[in-house]
Amino acid sequence: MTTARRTLRRSPRRRDRRGRGLRGLMYPATTPASRTRAEKFDAMVLEALEPIELRWGSELADLDLAVDEVPEVDETSPDDVVWGQGVLADVGVPLAQLVPAGVDPEGLPSRARIVIYRRPLEARARGGADLSDLLHEVLVEQVAEYLNIEPDAVDGDEGR
């Protein structure tokens, strides 16, 4: 004999359990609200680089730009960590690094690149405008080091 109670128990579980609604995207993929924090940060990096690239585009043709979450650390002791040449650090935490052109571990030639570290920069900024200014300053310093000139010459008359 089958009762209503027994039939309900045998039915498959629904996706809408606990009354939270159907799972899926909250926003359409075409809206800015659907972008992840990393995608928003990448867009801010490109926006901060744009005025520098407009002024120094031909000199920066052989320079790549990369974004990493955090810097790689081989040593875990704070007393033993020594950052190499080309690292821009704030209170011992690297914000960016200029990696010179050379040869990669497979023996292939590699281009020079600036590596921006997202999490340390986001931790130091108070908001979107502050992060944008900090990104611009970091990029100016790294491009100046790459071009072997003063940071004021890279920034020019922009007044930032």
| C-alpha dihedral, 107 to 113 to 118 to 119, nearest 10° | 50
Give 96's strand partners.
88, 116
Class of domain 34-70+84-150: alpha beta
The set of residues, in sequence order, having a beta carbon less than 8 Å from that of 53 and lying 6+ positions away, is: 60
Q: Could you tell me the residue ranges of all domains in the chain?
A: 34-70+84-150
Q: What is the pLDDT of residue 96?
A: 92
Give the Cα separation of 99 and 101 in Å (integer): 7
- Per-residue pLDDT of 70-118, as tens digits, reads 887 666 666 666 666 777 777 778 899 998 888 888 888 889 999 999 9
Q: What is the pLDDT of residue 111?
A: 92
The answer, yes or no, to whether residue 9 has pLDDT greater than 60, is: no
The answer, yes or no, to whether residue 7 has pLDDT greater than 70, is: no
pTM, 2 dp = 0.73
pLDDT band at 159 (very low <50, low <70, confident <90, very high): very low
- Per-residue pLDDT of 130-147, as tens digits, reads 999 999 999 999 999 999
Q: What is the pLDDT of residue 70?
A: 86
- Per-residue pLDDT of 48-61, as tens digits, reads 999 999 999 889 99
Q: What is the pLDDT of residue 23?
A: 64
On whether the CB atoms of residues 114 and 146 are closer than 8 A, the answer is yes
Give the Cα separation of 117 and 70 in Å (integer): 5
Q: Give the CA angle between residues 42, 57, 71 to the nearest 5°.
A: 35
